[in-house]
Chains A and B, each alone.
Chain A
Amino acid sequence: MLLAPALAIYTLFAIWPLIDVFILSFQDWNGINENREWVGLRNYYHILYNDPVFWVAFRNTVIWTIMSVIFPPVLGLFLALGLNQNLIGRAPLRAIYYLPVIIAPIAVATMWRWMYDPFFGLFTQLLTNAGLAQLIPDWLGDKDVALYSIFVAYVWQSVGFSMVLFLAGLQSVDRSLIDAARIDGANRRKIFEHVTLPALRPTITIVLVLSTISSLKAFDIVYGMTGGGPAQSTQMLALWAFTQSMEIFNYGRGSAVSVVLLTITLAIVVPYMSWSQRREEDAQ
């Protein structure tokens, strides 16, 4: 049947691992042994009470998520508003802003790691030339700075994505309303507040939810830039789950971390999906 191949592959390779991660989180397993031992809630107890890295990762994931819900969408909205005007060269400008989105995150990590190089990197050179050499931090080596250094690279990569979604949303703004408002003497700010912004509301929700989801997944860029270091200061939940399972071979604890992250994600995704379903039905 037409549906069968997609459904079979999807169920086996996407849904089964999802179920298995729950099962594993209640087990003790090193990945090799024949039998997996049931240990009840012990993995959860361990990560919540005896694993300091878990809480660092948790804190970083929260900080990262909050920052990525604010910075890329706001910047993306400004760019979209600007590029929605009839400007010379707006097509190439859009292309430039979107370019980083298609670069592999691992390549972005490699690029920025080199730009953050403490001796010959771009930022060090620029600050030295500006006579600010004493202000140069160890971008990726200082544990108070590293997370934010990575985040700058992430903003560079992800702004284009928000921008494109906002540009699409702006197409649905009713032009006759804007014209009418202008005839009535409304200035740009008024038009934005009372016409554009309300019309963009669904787009804003979509951008915020997608930004949240993609920020919870932050993996490649952190793995590539610091691997969670220095001293676990840039550890994130997704990466910590991976490290526990695939590098320390403690599948139970890794899966427990995964389940925590999954629960957070579902708490955002489920309301969002029912919201968009209702919206779809209203539109029909």
Chain B
Amino acid sequence: MTTTSPIVVAPRKRRDPVLIGLWISLVLVAIIWLAPVAFITFTAMKSESEVFSSAAFALPSKIEWNNFALAWAKGDFNNTFWNSTVITLVKVPLGLVISAMAAYALAQIRFGWNKMLLVFLLFGAMIPFQVMLAPLFTLVNSLSLIDTYPGIILPYLAFGVPYQVFILHGFFKAIPKELTEAALIDGASHFVIFRRIFLPVCLPVLAALLILDFVATWNEFAMALVLLQDKSMWTLPLGLMSFQSQFSNNYSQLNAAIVITVLPATLVYLIFQRYFVSGLTSGAVKG
């Protein structure tokens, strides 16, 4: 414990009984929070017979890597992993680019109804898309885009735009309009101003949004369930769901499948942790 604490802790005492009690309870709750993850991971590494004979939190006596290979093959993970990767890698950067352009236009170019357009866009961030799954299916179907990459990426883009515009608009608004106007007089186009001035400034926010959106897209289930009917187009969450219903009695492989599905997002989270918090909070809770 250092004495530079900015918060409530009194610097004069090094060990405060209340804080020690607090710390112990926080650690205990954290252990409970982590327990399901540990249980799943351990089960994934145990042989089928060990799952039934050993205690829930007993470490596996021998790690059965084979579970992962078998789950991978049975669950057709080659396919679903590939689809998830393609969809995420196309959707996330593309979505950020169009959102950033829109946010820039709304924040920096005056054309009368900026505010109305902004509210119109923000509205979408609040509307649960789960309500519109049927008309969404009808629409995508009428465009004959069911079971295609554009057929899922376009709706993903549409429902990603509001939140990202909201956050980025907040940032762009803080940059004085005079700067843009001066650059315009000097002959720079909006594209150049956007790329040279705004993009570098908001790089950290863009990074945060990129990571949040990566996880959200990677995990999305309901829309994929409706728009990707054909097995060959399924994403990871759909694959896991079907794995569960087909092989639910093979516990160690089921758990291996869960681990495979969850691992990429978890790794991204662990690596880019601090961006998550800033991305989530920069828009929602401003002082």
List A residues at the B interface (Cβ < 8 Å). Answer: 1-3, 5-7, 9-10, 12-18, 20-21, 24, 31, 79, 82-89, 93, 95-100, 102-107, 110-115, 117, 120, 122, 125-126, 129, 156, 161, 164-165, 167-169, 171-172, 175, 178, 182, 188, 191, 202-203, 206, 210, 213, 216-217, 219-220, 223-224, 238, 241-242, 245-246, 251, 254-255, 258, 261-262, 265, 269, 272-273, 277, 283
Interchain CB contact (< 8 A) of A213 among B124, B126, B157: B126
Are A95 and B270 in contact (CB-based, < 8 A)? yes
Are B265 and A103 in contact (CB-based, < 8 A)? yes
| B130 in the interface (beta carbon within 8 A) | yes
Are B39 and A115 in contact (CB-based, < 8 A)? yes
Are B119 and A82 in contact (CB-based, < 8 A)? no
Are B23 and A87 in contact (CB-based, < 8 A)? yes
Docked CA distance A277–B269 (Å): 32
| B200 in the interface (beta carbon within 8 A) | no
Report the count of interface residues on B (CB-CB < 8 A): 101
Docked CA distance A129–B123 (Å): 51
Docked CA distance A2–B139 (Å): 25
| B19 in the interface (beta carbon within 8 A) | yes
Interchain CB contact (< 8 A) of A265 among B99, B124, B128, B236: B128
List B residues at the A interface (Cβ < 8 Å). Answer: 1-2, 5-10, 18-19, 22-23, 25-27, 29-30, 33-37, 39-40, 43, 51-52, 55-56, 98-99, 101-102, 104-106, 109, 117, 119, 121-124, 126-139, 154-155, 157-159, 161-162, 165, 190-191, 194, 215, 218-219, 221-222, 225-226, 236-237, 240-241, 244, 251, 254-255, 257-258, 261-262, 265-266, 268-270, 273, 276-277, 280-281, 284-287
Docked CA distance A2–B105 (Å): 6
| Residues of the B chain whose Cβ atoms lie less than 8 Å from the Cβ of A169 | 285
Interchain CB contact (< 8 A) of A165 among B122, B129, B284: B284
Interchain CB contact (< 8 A) of A93 among B30, B39, B55, B280: B30
- What 4 new A-B contacts, CB under 8 Å, besides A86-B1, A246-B133? A9-B161, A111-B40, A223-B222, A242-B133
| Residues of the B chain whose Cβ atoms lie less than 8 Å from the Cβ of A265 | 126-128, 131
Are A113 and B244 in contact (CB-based, < 8 A)? yes
Docked CA distance A111–B219 (Å): 15
4 tightest Cβ-Cβ pairs between the two chains A and B: A13-B158, A245-B134, A104-B219, A168-B281
Are A255 and B23 in contact (CB-based, < 8 A)? no
Are B2 and A86 in contact (CB-based, < 8 A)? yes
Interchain CB contact (< 8 A) of B22 among A87, A115, A182, A269: A87
**Number of CB contacts from chain A to chain B under 8 A:** 291
Given known A-B contacts A168-B285, A262-B131, A273 and B122 have beta carbons under 8 A apart: yes
| Residues of the A chain whose Cβ atoms lie less than 8 Å from the Cβ of B36 | 111-112, 115, 122, 156
| Residues of the B chain whose Cβ atoms lie less than 8 Å from the Cβ of A217 | 128, 130
Are A102 and B265 in contact (CB-based, < 8 A)? yes
- A-B contacts, 30 listed (Cβ < 8 Å): A2-B194, A5-B102, A6-B98, A6-B161, A7-B102, A7-B121, A13-B155, A14-B124, A20-B132, A85-B8, A97-B33, A99-B37, A102-B219, A103-B262, A104-B218, A104-B237, A105-B219, A107-B237, A107-B258, A110-B258, A120-B52, A122-B36, A164-B276, A216-B128, A217-B130, A220-B221, A246-B226, A258-B131, A265-B127, A283-B286
Residue of A nearest to B237 (CB): A106
Docked CA distance A238–B89 (Å): 29
Give the distance to chain B from A185, nearest Cβ to Cβ, in Å: 13
| Residues of the B chain whose Cβ atoms lie less than 8 Å from the Cβ of A13 | 136, 139, 154-155, 157-159
| Residues of the B chain whose Cβ atoms lie less than 8 Å from the Cβ of A95 | 270, 273
| Residues of the A chain whose Cβ atoms lie less than 8 Å from the Cβ of B127 | 14, 18, 262, 265, 269
| Residues of the A chain whose Cβ atoms lie less than 8 Å from the Cβ of B5 | 85-86
Interchain CB contact (< 8 A) of B19 among A85, A97, A261: A85
| Residues of the A chain whose Cβ atoms lie less than 8 Å from the Cβ of B29 | 79
Interchain CB contact (< 8 A) of B134 among A7, A99, A202, A246: A246
Residue of A nearest to B1 (CB): A86
Are A241 and B131 in contact (CB-based, < 8 A)? yes
| Residues of the A chain whose Cβ atoms lie less than 8 Å from the Cβ of B277 | 98, 164, 167-168
| Residues of the B chain whose Cβ atoms lie less than 8 Å from the Cβ of A115 | 36, 39
Are B132 and A107 in contact (CB-based, < 8 A)? no
Are B273 and A104 in contact (CB-based, < 8 A)? no
Are B190 and A2 in contact (CB-based, < 8 A)? yes
Residue of A nearest to B40 (CB): A111
Are A114 and B56 in contact (CB-based, < 8 A)? no
Docked CA distance A230–B129 (Å): 26
| Residues of the A chain whose Cβ atoms lie less than 8 Å from the Cβ of B7 | 84-86, 175, 178
Residue of B nearest to A83 (CB): B26
| Residues of the B chain whose Cβ atoms lie less than 8 Å from the Cβ of A15 | 124
Residue of B nearest to A200 (CB): B285
| Residues of the A chain whose Cβ atoms lie less than 8 Å from the Cβ of B1 | 86-88
